[in-house]
Structure 1
Amino acid sequence: MGPTLRALLAGLAALLVLAGCSGGDESSGGGGGGGTRTVESERGPVQVPAAPQRIAVLSGGLAGDLFTLEAPVVAADPRVLGVQNDASGFPPSWSARAQQQGTQRLASEGAGLSIEQVAAARPDLIIGGGQGFTAAQAANAYPQLQQIAPTVLLPAFTQWQDQLTRIADVVGRSDRVPGLLQAYQDRAAQVRGALRVPPQPTVFLYQSRDGKSYVITPTAALPAIARDLGFTPDDVITKANNPPLFGTGDSFEVSPELLPRVADAPTAVYVPIGTQPLAQVAANPVYARLPAFSSGQVYEVPSTSFRPDYQGAMSTLDAFATQFR
């Protein structure tokens, strides 16, 4: 631990002592208050502020739900899979809210987690975990993060509803969840009523940056949203003979030789998380001979549809409404 970090941690400890002496009655706006509560974490129960006022979130995939819940985010990792940040350095879906709150951008562009930067933000709660390499970064740094503030590591959720509900519990805003879930159900019903559902079943695909082909599992978030709209995700697991799953289990790699057998559904939905747009992939002979591609029944949805937060789920509904009207 370097001298800069020691000084930051020492200063933070002094602030926490002063806060404890104050009786926990002070808050920094937004209807806060004193007291603590115990929540579940991947490392066991953690005592967190009942109404946190300075949250540092170490995963861009989790940050969007905090902004949706109108939680006070003092610092956030801005990296979201497949998303190019705007001029502010934040993802477009929550850039305006981050700037309005004065949220600090944590290290990005391939840099590792900076403990000094997290400590400098003086958070009263740290949230990490979720999906992707940022979850591993937070897990590796957990002992140091605990010295800064109560740290909650969340599991890798496969459904956005579970993620939203858990985050809301951690930050004491569970009362907002029913209304958000109802808004999704209402919008899904509206979209479904106006859709022209193409021939079923549907296969869900993406291509990684290195050109490898991946198929999304039927139980992942995107196929689940499509199912809410009347689509039938194809049983690609059986067609691929129960392949090893990638990452958190929401997709698996398929060789060019096996792809025609696994992705033979009459309709396909493509997610451009590897930055290659549908037009470019469709020109690839491996894909061009797939039934959905050859018949013109392949459709592109935003990259945020693959592992969506709440706003990603809502934008996916909008994308289906546009593609299948």
Structure 2
Amino acid sequence: MKKLFLPILLLLLALSLAACGNAKEETDEKNANEEVTNEETVSETRTYDSEAGPVEVPTNPQRVIVLATYTGNVLALDVPLVGVDAWSKMNPRYELEGIEEVTDESLEKIIELEPDLIIGLSTMKNVDKLKEIAPVVTYTYGKLDYLTQHLEIAKLLNKEEEAQNWIDDFKKRSAEAGEQIKAKIGEDATVSVIENFDKELYVFGDNWARGTEILYQEMKLNMPEKVKEMALEPGFYSLSLEVLPEFAGDYLIVSKGAETETSFMESETFKNIPAVKNNQMYSVNSNEFYFNDPITLEFQLQFFIDSFLGN
């Protein structure tokens, strides 16, 4: 019996070792395949038709630098950033801890960051030098409407379906909020957006961020005739304090920052504007309102809902 038992035991042991060996080989092969797949995912490229011509870009970029305006669009699409411009850094709504601040002139720092894609404005400097570091895609600000611009950046980043779903939902929610606001303030009520920047007062049209796209394009709220006349086509208009009452709507959005000169708000001219006297003026942090990307737009939309419908 013992003689029979020993060969069986040795056979079972051999089979067990063989099984373990096969499992290890399968695991090693699987890990190797995954590594190859990951490498291919990072290294794969495709051609993106930019406004400046075809650009060979990473299929799934992992180290993006944004040199102006579009940081929030990239963040909203969960694409990794390694560098952004100073204005983006000042926006408290963007989560940019550990992300370097760069400009179109800080070439050495950009080289150190090893980007695989650089996004900026068509007016930025050193485009040819930047192209030697990584693929560069630029956009002309205002050439596309704000939602089409987001969709275009999503195409660049291989996130088009995700962006389109958000756009459809955002437009629906904004329109619904607009109907509720008009029901409360009246169909004919007007809204103005003003900002004091570099000691100059500005009023804005319907496509210059600061929440204007939501108020006028999506919610269909009314723009005062004077604003429509002077600011609608160019996007913004510089004006003096003396004529501000002519541009002020029934409701007034005042965009200002911590460092902004706001002495104009202490003037009798400003205090006697009906929107101010009627407590229909809402102040916003300009650093949070400068842009028109999904992160900023969601914040703006909620601000307007709370301000117009909250009391």
Q: For the superposition of Structure 1 and Structure 2, which TM-score range results when normalised by the shorter chain?
A: 0.7 to 0.9
In 2: Cα distance, 1:302 partner to 1:231 partner = 21
Question: Alignment partner of 1:45: what SS?
Answer: strand
**Selected match of 2:99 from 98, 104, 120:** 104
In 2: Cα distance, 1:127 partner to 1:223 partner = 24
Contact 2:191 2:221 in 1 (8 A): yes
What pairs with 1:207-246 in structure 2 (closer than 5 Å)? 207-210=196-199, 212-221=200-209, 222-227=211-216, 228-237=218-227, 239-240=229-230
**Selected match of 1:47 from 56, 63, 85:** 56
Aligned to 1:7: none
In 2: Cα distance, 1:235 partner to 1:219 partner = 16
Aligned to 2:185: 197
Aligned to 2:15: none
Aligned to 2:169: 183
1:165 CA displacement: 1.2
What pairs with 1:54-93 in structure 2 (closer than 5 Å)? 54-59=63-68, 61-80=69-88, 85=90, 91-93=91-93
Q: 1:193 to 1:115 in 2, by over 3 A?
A: same
Contact 2:254 2:281 in 1 (8 A): yes
1:127 CA displacement: 0.8
One-letter code aligned to 2:219: L
1:194 CA displacement: 4.7
Report the TM-score, using the length of structure 1 for normalisation.
Answer: 0.71
1:296 CA displacement: 2.5
Cα deviation per residue 1:236-281 (whole Å; 9 max; x = unaligned)?
Answer: 34554x79x8xxx421101233323333x32222111574498x65
What pairs with 1:160-309 in structure 2 (closer than 5 Å)? 160-189=146-175, 191-192=177-178, 194-195=180-181, 196-197=184-185, 200-210=189-199, 212-221=200-209, 222-227=211-216, 228-237=218-227, 239-240=229-230, 249-263=234-248, 265-273=249-257, 275-276=259-260, 281-303=264-286, 304-309=288-293
Contact 1:218 1:235 in 2 (8 A): no
Question: Alignment partner of 1:204: what SS?
Answer: strand
In 1: Cα distance, 2:206 partner to 2:71 partner = 26
In 2: Cα distance, 1:73 partner to 1:26 partner = 22
Contact 2:154 2:160 in 1 (8 A): yes
- Runs of 4+ off more than 4 Å: 25-29, 237-240
Contact 2:196 2:261 in 1 (8 A): no
In 2: Cα distance, 1:277 partner to 1:295 partner = 23
Question: Alignment partner of 1:205: what SS?
Answer: strand
In 2: Cα distance, 1:266 partner to 1:237 partner = 13
Structure 2 gap ranges (5+): 1-35
Contact 2:194 2:254 in 1 (8 A): yes
Aligned to 1:151: 136
In 1: Cα distance, 2:45 partner to 2:127 partner = 23
In 2: Cα distance, 1:175 partner to 1:50 partner = 15
Contact 2:105 2:125 in 1 (8 A): no
Please identify which structure carries the higher helix content: 2
Q: 1:281 to 1:257 in 2, by over 3 A?
A: closer
Which protein has the larger Cα radius of gyration, Structure 1 or Structure 2?
2
In 2: Cα distance, 1:151 partner to 1:26 partner = 25
Structure 1 gap ranges (5+): 1-24, 86-90, 130-134
Q: Which region of structure 1 is more displaced relative to structure 2, 112-121 or 290-299? A: 290-299
Cα deviation per residue 1:142-187 (whole Å; 9 max; x = unaligned)?
Answer: 1110111111111113743132112111222112112211331343
**Selected match of 1:320 from 291, 304, 310:** 304
Contact 1:27 1:53 in 2 (8 A): no
Question: Alignment partner of 2:115: what SS?
Answer: coil
Q: 1:270 to 1:277 in 2, by over 3 A?
A: farther
Question: Alignment partner of 1:92: what SS?
Answer: coil
